[in-house]
Amino acid sequence: MDVSGDYLEAQRKGKKPGLFQVTLKDEGPDTVFQPSGQLKPEQDRVVAISDQHKNAKKAATSVEEHLANAPIGGGAIHIKKRGFDLHFTPGVKKIGGLVNAQQARSAFSDKSLHESALLLAQTMESAREISGVSWITEGGGSGVMTQAMGILKNKGIRFDDNMHHVFFSHLTTSLVQAEQLARDIGLKFDSRSAAVNRLRPDELVGGLGFCGGYIAAWNRFQQDPERTALMLSGDIYRETLGTKNAAATLGVTAAAVATAVGLSTGGANPSALATLATALGGAVGVGVTLTQAWLPKYYHLIKKKFGA
């Protein structure tokens, strides 16, 4: 992509996708646009690939917890000390998920993601010689990453030698597609490749799709010589138990949850959430779990403020 001065200015203002370096401060994240689209030549860089957000600061705030909880990238202490790089995609609609199920299934070829995916692919290609880069997606950022990996695969670009890892945090596009493309270009996984909250329909339907968790588990077993039959059994057990429990919870409380999160009114109803938690047995943990699943932004703010 040959970018003009006007395009660079649009990137700087957050109207076009681009790369930012993020420093975490007490008053909030500091984001600095990187016109080269390249990472610092330092090993163990952490790169977040965001879902669509209104601006880079909102994206940086949203991805912070995803980075801290990922099994790669060094965790909260590492990113607090060294900061991270952010591939930012502007927009107000989330990528994939339940509402955008077609986009979730076909992120590899979705035209609306082309621009951001091409820029991410260029950043990734230029970072091949940097050792130990961790690529961590947030929500629908998995869709941008999926398409970028597809672009790199078509170009014959691989990452076998420098231990680049990838993790899909609460993805809302196909896990099967993303995992396969990551393998195809030589990206590594840690103990797990993704985090999914099965109480969130966007992740259950968008990320895992129809039996997507089982297919991904089988593919891991088939293509990774280090994975044993026991590991496969464990993966399938977790998929079965998690999906069953999520389906049971959502089935029993669907109407109550819809009221609680304001699906019909467009706003959250805290008193309804409290009533719902009480109806489910009065356990504080249930209220926390539902808040985390259905109102992740509120959950993140509460957790950050009170350490809950």
Q: Where are the domains of the chain?
A: 5-195
What mean pLDDT value characterizes the chain? 79
The answer to pTM > 0.85 is no
Q: What are phi and psi of 24, to 5 degrees?
A: -90, 125
Q: Which CATH class is domain 5-195?
A: alpha beta
In the sheet that holds 165-169, the strands lie side by side as 28-33, 18-25, 84-90, 46-53, 134-138, 165-169, 194-195
- CB neighbours (10 Å) of residue 58? 16
- Residues of the chain falling short of pLDDT 50: 211, 214, 218, 244, 247, 250, 252-291, 294, 298-299, 302, 305-308
Q: What is the 3-state secondary structure (H, E, C) of 235-293?
A: HHHHHHHHHHHHHHHHHHHHHHHHHHCCCCCCCCCHHHHHHHHHHCCCCHHHHHHHHHH
User: Tens digits of per-residue pLDDT, 202-236?
Assistant: 887 777 665 455 455 545 556 666 656 666 555 55
